[in-house]
A = this chain, B = another copy of it.
């Protein structure tokens, strides 16, 4: 059989297209204050509860998407595939552990405690054995988690609430008073829970944001477009222990669409480590222009709160932007801006102000 150009072309294309074993996207959010910024997702499901993928898929997806650590948190109580996949709480972790180790992805054993709302659903992570949590009384479950020194957080607090409805119930306040939870999911998938966000700030809970994926990650309709919702953990190093230490100390932020939610200090650290300003190119008596490079994956959106400067500025991810700054007769400018998508509280952007000197 004659091998003509077409077959050569097909072969060449086939060769070029051959998949390398695995490829990982790097998420560009900088390390801050000497901590390494770990990209984590502590909430997801598999066929072992109501998810639709095998546990190893969660590891593959997370690794390819640039995550550093995940927890598979299948429901203890809700097991719709039970007839085909008999209940076995520790199996998702066991099945996924080898692949995670091979890829250098940290896998944290966890589960989702699943009760009617209120009180709702809670994730317990850093467990040694999930089975002791499969017990009837709700407070017994939380105590069983505590006995294993788990980190427990409240999932999607306003999940079933109607718009405007109060969803922080007496039993949730009671859980808080008893010290049975340490964190609150202020974002779950596409949903931001403003009241729970405020409540978490008031009571100093660790801010969590997770995907809660059930379908394959690439087509889960609850995910925002470019990346899954995740918790940024500012950890001393990339280990399970260091993540636990950071969660207990509240050193997290939530990366959600093009927004990061967190305490002002962390957000300021991220902004400053992402943004580089080059010395002015253009000078006149009244204005200078600076070239601002944004090395992160976030498009920062700024709105002027002071008297001078452009009324809005966008610093797109991975690009450089020219900004013209009016200066006074002493060659300086008092700049004040809000970064509207670095969110310190519901409806509140990060405030920045600085005195800019032209030379």
Contact with A4, one of B6, B218, B310, B348 (Cβ below 8 angstroms): B348
A347 to B2, CA, bound (A): 7
| Nearest CB of B to A322, in Å | 5
What band does the interface of chain A fall in when counting residues whose beta carbon is under 8 Å from B?
A: 35 or more
Q: Which of A96-104, A122-130, A177-185 contacts B (4 or more CB under 8 A)?
A: A96-104
Q: Knowing A291-B104, A321-B22 touch, does A346 contact B1 (C-beta < 8 A)?
A: yes
Asked whether, in the complex, the Cβ of A219 is within 8 Å of the Cβ of B60, the reply is yes
Contact of A52 among B23, B57, B281 (CB under 8 A): B57
CB 8 Å contact bits of A312-337 with B (1 = contact, 0 = none): 11101011111110000000000000
Task: Report if A12 contacts B (CB, 8 A).
Answer: yes
Indicate if the CB atoms of B340 and A24 lie closer than 8 Å: no
Count this chain's copies in the assembly. Answer: 4
Of the stretches A113-121, A147-155, A188-196, the one at the interface is A188-196
**Is there a chain B Cβ closer than 8 Å to A61's Cβ?**
yes
Q: Which residues of B contact A293 (CB under 8 A)?
A: 26
Contact assessment for B321 and A219 in the assembled complex, using a CB-CB cutoff below 8 Å: no
Q: Are A4 and B281 touching (Cβ within 8 A)?
A: no
> Residues of B contacting A91 with CB < 8 Å?
84
**For the complex, what is the distance from the CA of A285 to the CA of B260, rounded to whole Å?**
44
State which of B25, B81, B314 has its C-beta within 8 Å of the C-beta of A20.
Answer: B314
Main secondary structure of the interface of A (DSSP, over half): mixed
Q: Are A22 and B340 in contact (CB under 8 A)?
A: no
Name the distance in Å between A178's Cβ and chain B's nearest Cβ.
26
Which parts of A1-52 form the interface with B (CB within 8 Å)? 1-7, 9-10, 12-15, 17-26, 47-48, 51-52
Residues on B with C-beta less than 8 A from A2 are 347
Would B216 and A219 count as touching, CB distance under 8 A?
A: yes
The reply to whether B216 and A7 contact each other, CB–CB distance below 8 Å, is no
Question: Is B282 in contact with A102, judged by CB distance below 8 angstroms?
Answer: yes
Say yes or no: is A172 at the interface (Cβ < 8 Å to chain B). Answer: no
In the complex, A351 has a CB within 8 A of chain B: no
Kindly list chain B residues whose C-beta atoms are within 8 Å of the C-beta of A277.
none
Known contacts A88-B84, A95-B84, A324-B21: A347-B4 contact under CB 8 Å: yes
Chain B residue at smallest Cβ distance from A192: B10
Q: Is A79 an interface residue (CB 8 A)?
A: no
Residues of B within 8 A of A23 (CB): 316, 319-322
What residues on B are CB-neighbors of A24 within 8 Å? 291, 319-322
- Answer yes or no: A198 CB below 8 A from chain B CBs: yes
Given contacts A10-B259, A22-B321, A24-B322, 19 further A-B contacts (CB under 8 A): A3-B347, A4-B347, A6-B348, A7-B347, A17-B224, A18-B190, A19-B221, A20-B310, A23-B319, A24-B320, A26-B293, A53-B57, A60-B219, A61-B219, A101-B282, A102-B281, A103-B281, A104-B278, A216-B216
Q: Which residues from chain A sit less than 8 Å from chain B, CB to CB?
A: 1-7, 9-10, 12-15, 17-26, 47-48, 51-54, 56-57, 60-61, 64, 81, 84-86, 88, 91, 95, 101-104, 190-192, 194, 198, 215-219, 221-222, 224-225, 257, 259, 278, 281-282, 289, 291, 293, 310, 312-314, 316, 318-324, 340-341, 343, 346-349
A-B contact pairs, 24 of them (CB 8 A): A4-B348, A6-B347, A10-B192, A10-B259, A13-B257, A14-B191, A15-B312, A19-B221, A20-B313, A21-B321, A23-B319, A24-B321, A25-B318, A51-B54, A52-B53, A53-B54, A53-B216, A54-B81, A60-B215, A61-B219, A84-B86, A101-B281, A104-B281, A216-B218
